[in-house]
Amino acid sequence: MSFEGTYERANRRGKELQADVPRAVSARYERRSGRIVIGLSSGLEVGFLPEHAEGLDRAGAAELEKIEISPSGYGIHFPKLDADLYLPALLEGIYGSRRWMAARLGRSGGLSRSKGKIAAARKNGKMGGRPRMRTLGKGK
């Protein structure tokens, strides 16, 4: 595809996005609630806890206070952290890269306390704890 074709396609996609997805018009960190609050062009405000977003999960209040909005209104930038979030993804509940989201999902699964997991832990405890990992060494 030529440059002109790519350019036209990108402009068309940008106009579709602007028609379908509200843009950020304001962003702030609220110390009292500990939330990032983003004001949208639709008049709605959305907020989330920084620990739920990649790049913000270990940030302090002073690092979260300066927030910049990209000219398109779809990028949220935290200059003190050099972290960026994409508003359409945030609105879909995607707070980071696939790898980061998968790690968080795995961690929450490991913390679950289902009846089956509790029963398995008790059974292993009665037998002396978790079985040791067997490794294949020389001559075995």
pLDDT at 138 over 80: no
Tell me the CB-side half-sphere exposure of residue 136, using CA atoms within 13 A: 0
CA–CA gap between residue 139 and residue 95 (Å, rounded) = 49
| The CATH fold of domain 3-95 | NE0471 N-terminal domain-like (3.30.2020)
- CA proximity to 101, closest of 117, 87, 111, 90: 90
Q: Which pLDDT tens digit goes with each residue over 108-127?
A: 555 567 788 778 778 877 77
- CA proximity to 57, closest of 107, 22, 92: 107
Two structure tokens written together for 126: 């009665």
pTM of the model as a whole? 0.61
R_g of the chain, CA atoms, integer Å: 23
CB atoms within 10 A of CB 64: 21
Q: With bands split at pLDDT 50, 70 and 90, how would you rate the model's confidence at 137?
A: low
- Give the type of residue at 48: F
| Average pLDDT value for residue range 58-71 | 94
**What DSSP character marks residue 134?**
P
Q: Which pLDDT tens digit goes with each residue over 39-48?
A: 999 899 999 9
- Give the type of residue at 117: K
